[in-house]
Amino acid sequence: MTTEERYQKVIDWFEKNRPEVGTELHYSDPFQLLIAVILSAQCTDKRVNLITPALFEAFPTPEVLAAANEDHVYEYIKSVSYPHNKAKRLVKMAQVLMNEYEGKIPSAIKELMKIPGVGQKTANVIASIVYNVPALAVDTHVFRVSNRIGLTQNSKTPLETEKELTRYIPKRLWSKAHHWLILHGRYVCVARKPKCEECGLKAYCQYYTNQRLPLLERG
């Protein structure tokens, strides 16, 4: 199977079986989404969703968060990973929004990446969800699943993975593909023991094929 054929098979399966996908983070406006995505780094969406209602109520706007004490913010987010660092980033993020963007979330990925706590992945997520900018964010799930399936071959970094995925996936599907691969990695192609037998992609998956070859040869 060629790389192009594998991509087309995977895309066709997702379009048929997962036509509607989106983030599992809970939010009601772009500012809340930005907070949630920053908090979700190396943390589960489930954990983030548990703490954000109280956090959003306490700090409803960039102006309020920008004036907050980091220790006060920490009390609301102490159950997530790296809470001290994230508390600092959230306050600095809000301060930059107020000082440089009039409290509004910028739409350009380059501008988003100037905000504390916002890297390439976070910028892509915000731009694609909030502003419908074609972008494909690569987190640990996307990185793992892409390599396992065989969509990427020698990508060693998220940026290399992003470049390879966006080379073969149509631009109109970049945002969807991000969610497809994340959710697949979260619930099926899990890190330690992928659920290959219940996976709809196994017929096109390089990892599954390689796992079965020794058994077929013995049989």
Q: What is the pLDDT of residues 145-198, one digit of tens each?
A: 999 999 998 889 999 999 999 999 999 999 999 999 999 999 999 999 999 999
Cβ-based neighbour number of residue 109 at 10 Å? 18
Given a cut of 60, whether residue 216 has pLDDT beyond it is no
Average model confidence (pLDDT) across the chain: 93
pLDDT category, 211, cuts 50, 70, 90? confident
Instruction: Give the pLDDT confidence of 66-95 residue by residue, as tens digits.
Output: 999 999 999 999 999 999 999 999 999 999
Angle at which helix 174-187 crosses helix 158-168, to 10 degrees, equals: 120
Q: According to the model, what pLDDT value does residue 213 have?
A: 54
pLDDT at residue 215 greater than cutoff 80: no
d(CA 62, CA 212) in angstroms, rounded, equals 53
Nearest to 10 by CA among 187, 199, 153: 199
pLDDT at 29 over 70: yes
Please tell me the predicted confidence (pLDDT) of residue 146: 96
- Band of residue 210 on the pLDDT scale cut at 50, 70, 90: confident
pLDDT at 154: 81
Q: Tell me which of 46, 88, 110, 139 is the catalytic residue.
A: 139
Residue 102 has pLDDT above 60, yes or no: yes
- pLDDT tens across 129-156, in order? 999 999 999 999 999 999 999 999 888 9
Output the pTM of the full model. Answer: 0.87
Q: Would you call 29 a catalytic residue per the annotation?
A: no
Asked whether the predicted pLDDT for residue 45 surpasses 90, the reply is: yes
Question: Which of 121, 156, 163, 176 is flagged as catalytic?
Answer: 121
Residue 129's alpha-carbon distances to 2, 34, 80, 191, in angstroms, are 31, 10, 23, 26
Roughly how many angstroms between the first and final C-alpha of the chain, as a whole number? Answer: 23
> Residue 154: CB partners within 8 Å, gap ≥ 6?
160
Residues 49, 25 contacting (CB under 8 angstroms): yes
